[in-house]
Amino acid sequence: MGERAKALLVDDRRDNLLALEAILQGLPVTAVAVESGEAALKQLLTDDFAVILLDAHMPNMDGFETASHIKRRERTRHVPILFLTAADRDAQLALRGYAVGAVDYLTKPFDPWVLRAKVSIFVELWMKSQQLKSQAEASKEREAQWQRLTGTVDEAARVLRAGGEQAAAEALDLLDKARWGD
């Protein structure tokens, strides 16, 4: 369960990626920086992310198209996307960002502490989600063990009811095997 949360940083400008990495330093998150929408989609094929910080304006595949692809994939559709853009506070661009699935839309220059707070929330939510998945898997395994044990007890009871000279020994053997996982 000790997997560390990851944040995918997507911007065509290396200096912006370095600035984002610096902003996120000290948070319980590993920053993974890529310089295009295509690279982001490839990264999402191999890694799971707690949050995506996505530049809206990039050459070739812009942030809106990238977000659209992310939200179409079953594996990535629930990853929160924070759009970051240098564009003026154009309400239409923000609406376009929300329309393709963004949870927020920040215009540059933005307050780094606000961005850290937002990323922290999504990292915490991701960690809680991972914890719940782990607990659900453990519960499922306990249920399977219980079902196996119940089946064994039922079989031992059937053997005892059938009687015979070896019934008790056979029933005990079944229970021992179940107890020791044989």
| Residue entry with tokens 């330093």 | 25
pLDDT at position 146, please? 83
Give the C-alpha separation, 136 to 113, whole Å: 34
- Domain ranges for the chain: 6-134, 135-180
Q: Residue 59: what residue type?
A: P
H or E stretch at 83: strand 81-85
In three-state secondary structure terms, 62 is coil
Q: Would you state the pLDDT for residue 50?
A: 95
* Pair 127, 5: CB distance under 8 Å: yes
Please give the CATH architecture assigned to the domain spanning 6-134: 3-Layer(aba) Sandwich (3.40)
Q: Average pLDDT per run of 10 along the chain, which is 182 residues long?
A: 86 94 95 96 95 92 93 93 78 77 84 94 92 86 83 81 81 77 60
The helix/strand count (H/E) of the chain reads as 6, 5
The Cα 53–Cα 59 span in angstroms is 17
Q: CB under 8 Å to 16, separation ≥6 — which residues?
A: 55, 84
d(CA 146, CA 75): 31
Q: What is the pLDDT of residue 85?
A: 85
Predicted confidence at residue 128, as pLDDT, reads 93
Phi then psi dihedrals of residue 108, to 5 deg: -85, 145
Give the Cα-Cα-Cα angle 103, 15, 51 (nearest 5 degrees): 25
d(CA 30, CA 133): 21
